[in-house]
Structure 1
Amino acid sequence: MSGKVRAVTVALAVASVVVLSGACDAQGAGNDKATPRESDTSAVPSATAPSTATSPAPDTTPQVRLLVNFMISGGYAGRRDQLLLYTDGTYTVSTRNKPSSTHRLDAKALGELRADLKNADLGSLPGRIIDEQARDMFQYRLAHEGHVVITDLTRSYPRLDKVVHRLERLVDAG
């Protein structure tokens, strides 16, 4: 490589690092404050004209938070899939075989799922509902409102099974 080409290559590399460093700093990289996910931007209050009132109005914007963390693992092929469902109905599906994808439940489907979660009453269930003798079974891990239940569906808990099947369909469709 000639000296001129090498100098241009080095200059471009340095310029790229400078530009990328500035972009990272502008997006909050390296600071400890959480930044909203792209799909959460609808829940972030937009900038408005300053209020003329003496005290600021309370923030009535609903905060988007995690509603369900659902994982499927195991089986012969070693499945490891995850669904993160947020209170605004957006959910992200991550699997080994495909890039992550983000979707949104409509209000009716989100309401039905919330009702099913309430009916399942995870807090009243054992934390592990697993047949320890079973091999190559899928395990379903469902976390909601501080409760975690892991099941392989070998024992029937109809209200829990209904939620697991509904969430598994979302993963498979994702």
Structure 2
Amino acid sequence: MATRVGRFLGLVTSVLLLVGCGESVAASQEVSLHVSGGIAGVQRGIEVGPGGAVTLIDREGRHAGRELSGDEREKLGSLLGAVDFAGLPARSIDEGSRDRFEYRLAHAGRTVITDRSTDLGPADDLIDHLESCMEARRAGAVQHTPTRS
């Protein structure tokens, strides 16, 4: 009887661990990048939610964007796995620079603010990827916007 109970508890524990892992994998894809600054006062951003859902941010507000492709999600997961967010400084800004962009990268409760004047290793690659995803969706939105005559 004790063996059956032990097996049952082991099975329940395994199922709970698998369900928990599935949630953490989906949550681990949640990341955002907000870019601001420059002479023109740029404000743009991208937020990626579970499953690759994309929200674009600009001066007019928040807009749904095309979901990440499988390749984009795969690369995002790889880059997120390579970044040691806990080991990054919360702020990496050259305070002496005047006209700069600030990049606010957020993931798993950690936020890193950088002007990209310091090499942040894999975090820089992640920023590049998110900017690429953002620009691809912004370009697509511009191409599909009807023109007025």
Q: Same fold (TM over 0.5)?
A: yes
Runs of 4+ in structure 1 displaced over 6 angstroms? none
Q: Match for residue 109 of structure 1?
A: 72
2:53 counterpart (86, 90, 94): 90
Q: Match for residue 35 of structure 2?
A: 72
**Alpha-carbon shift at residue 109 of structure 1 (Å):** 1.6
Q: Match for residue 63 of structure 2?
A: 100
Matches within 5 A, 1:1-174: 67-96=30-59, 100-173=63-136, 174=138
Instruction: Give me the TM-score of the superposition, normalised by structure 1.
Output: 0.59
Same amino acid, percent of matched pairs: 31
Cα deviation code 1:146-171 (max 9, x no counterpart): 11101100011221110111111222
Instruction: Give me the TM-score of the superposition, normalised by structure 2.
Output: 0.68
Cα deviation code 1:82-140 (max 9, x no counterpart): 21101201111121268724111122221211110121111110000110111111100
* RMSD, aligned α-carbons: 2.2
Give the AA of the match of 1:86.
G
Equivalenced residues, count: 115
The runs of 5 or more residues in structure 1 that have no matched partner are: 1-57
Greater relative CO, 1 or 2 (CA 8 Å, sep 6+): 2
